[in-house]
A and B are shown apart, each in its own frame.
Chain A
Amino acid sequence: MTDNHFEPDSFIDALAPLLDLIIDDASRAQVKTHLEIAARMAALLFEHKLDDHEEPAPVFAA
C-alpha cells in the first residue's frame, strides 16, 4: 500500500462509495494528487522501523 504500486484510482473507486462521498470529475484529479502525496509520505514513514513497544504519542489518561 505504500510502495510504488499505489493506485489512487483504485482507492477512490473502492472507498468513495463506502464513505458515501461524491467525487466528480472536476475534483478527482485533485483528490488523486493528494492521495499520491499521502502515499509518498506514508512510504517515507514506514521506511523507518519502530520498536514494537514504541508508545503512540497520545496516551489516554483514565
Chain B
Amino acid sequence: MSNCLLDKSAAEIAAAVRSGAASAREIAEAALARIAERNSKLGAFTDIAAARALAKAAAIDGKRARGEALGPLAGAPFAAKNLFDIAGLVTRAGAKINRDNPPAARDATLVARLEAADAVLVGALNMGEYAYDFTGENAHDGPSRNPHDPAHMSGGSSGGSGTAAASGMAAITLGSDTNGSIRVPSSLCGLFGLKPTYGRLSRAGTFPFVASLDHLGPLARSARDLALAYDAMIGPDEADPAQAKIPAEPVAPRLEQGARSLRIAKLGGYFARSAEPAALEALDRVAKALDATETVELPEAERARAAAYLITMVEGAALHLERLRARREDFDPDVRDRLVAGAMLPGAWVAQAQKFRRFWRGEVLKLFDRVDVLLAPATPCRAPRIGQKTFTLDGKETLVRPNLGLFTQPISFIGLPAAVAPICTAGDRLPIGVQIIAAPWREDLVLRVAHALERDGVAAAPIARFT
C-alpha cells in the first residue's frame, strides 16, 4: 500500500495521510526502503536522513491522532540538493573541499518551509561540484544517473534532484538554477520543474555559486506538486538580501484557470537553430496543444547568453579563488579549470555584461505587452551518455558540460520565471522538456500552462522503470 503510494504525487500522498488511508510513518519507511534499494544503482542521494524522516513522520501521525490540521504536503517525502543546509549534515555543495566544514547548525529556509507544510525530508542529493555543471556528474560522489536509462546523464547541476524524483525515491526535490540547473535535469529526467523569478524564493542557508544569477526551486512529477511546494516556500525572509519585496500569492488555487485565455507563442531564431529534431518536435507538440501558432524571437538571445556566461565565470571564480590556491588538487579538474579561467577575465567584460543585462531585460519585457507565455526547448537534445564530453550543435562539435543549458541560460539571465513540461515519445526511452516562460513574478502563468498540458495528456512524468 505505502510502496504503491510512493508512485503517486505529493498531493495524493498528503490526501491519503490526511484521510487516514496511510500513516506518515508507513510512507516514510517505504521511501527509505526504496532509497536503500535504488540509490546504489542511481547515485541520487549523498546523505540519507532516516532518523529525521521517521521522527517527522511520527510527529505528523501524532498531530492527526490529536485531531490537529495537517499541512498541504503531509507525509510527502522530499529531498534537497546538497547545497541546501540541513541541520546536522555537512553542506557538501558537491565538493570534496566542503566536507571539511562543520555540519550545518540549522536548515535552509526552504527546507524548513517544506517541513512546516508537513513534508518529510529524507536526505540530501548529489550534484555537480559547486553547481558549475549541466551533466549531473560528480568526480567525488560519482554521477547521478538518468533513471530512464542509467547509462545516460541526469543533467545538472541538480542531478540528484532529477534522479530522485524521476525514480520515485522522493515526490518533491529541491534544486538550484543559476543558468539552467533545475530546468536541464527536469528535461533530461522527464520531470516538471520550476525556476521562479529571480528574487522570489529565499536563498538563505544555501551554498552560493553566482549571487547575481542564483535561483532555487522545486522538481516534481506533477505541476500541482510544483505549485504546492512553491506555495509552501513563498514569503519574505530577511536573511536573503536579494529577495524582492514583492508579495507572492499562492498558485495552487489558480491552476484550474488553465491556458485558454493566454496569448502563447513559440520562440524561434536562437532557440530553434541549435535544437535537435527531438527538441523541436516536443516544442511543436506543446505549441499545437496550446493553439500557439505564432513564432516570435528574443533578439540578442545569443549575446544575452554570452553575458550570463561571463558573469558566471567571473563571480564563480571570485567565490572560489582562495580555494583554487589552497586546495587545487581537491577540485574536480573539469570545474577547476573553468574557475581558473574565470579568475583571469578582465573586469570590463563583466561590467559590460551587467549593463547588457539591464538593457536586455527592458527589451524582452516589451514582448510581454503582446504575449503572456513563451515556449522554448529546455535542452537541445535528450540526455547524452555519461562521460560524453562533446556533442554536435548547429553542425559544430562543442563541449557538453557548458552547452546543455544554452536555451535556459538567456532566460535565467534576466530572472524570468520558467517551468519545464516533460514530453515522452512512444519508442523513445529518454524524455525531453519544453520551457514555459512568463514575465517576472508570473509563476502562476507558467504553472497554469504546465498543469493544462499535464491534464490534457501532452506532458507527463511517469516514474522511470529502470533496469
Contact = CB atoms under 8 A, between A and B. Distances in A.
Contacts of A48: 300, 303, 356
Interface string B337-367: 1101111111001011111111101000000
Contacts of A47: 303
Contacts of A26: 333
A55 to B, nearest CB: 5
Interface string B290-321: 00000000001011001101100100000001
Contact of B333 (A2, A27, A46, A56): A27
Contacts of A50: 352, 355-356, 359
A41 B359 contact: no
Q: How large is the interface on A (under 10, 10 to 19, 20 to 34, 35 or more residues)?
A: 35 or more
A34 B338 contact: yes
Contact of B352 (A23, A38, A46): A46
B336 A54 contact: no
Nearest to A18: B344
A42 B333 contact: no
Contacts, number: 99
Contacts of A37: 309, 402
B306 A41 contact: yes
A25 interface: no
Interface SS, A side: helix
A16 B321 CA distance: 12
A19 B352 contact: no
Given A11-B344, A19-B344, A34 B303 contact: no
B349 A20 contact: no
A45 B344 contact: no
B97 interface: no
B263 interface: no
Interface in A19-62: 19-23, 26-27, 30-31, 33-35, 37-38, 40-42, 44-48, 50-51, 54-58
A15 B324 CA distance: 14
A55 B337 CA distance: 32
Contacts of B349: 2, 38, 42, 45
A55 B344 CA distance: 24
Given A15-B344, A38-B313, A56-B354, A44 B212 contact: no
Nearest to A20: B325
A56 B349 CA distance: 12
Interface of B: 212, 300, 302-303, 306-307, 309-310, 313, 321, 324-325, 328, 333-334, 336-338, 340-346, 349, 351-359, 361, 399, 402
| 5 nearest A-B pairs in the assembled complex, by CB-CB distance | A34-B341, A30-B337, A41-B306, A56-B354, A57-B357
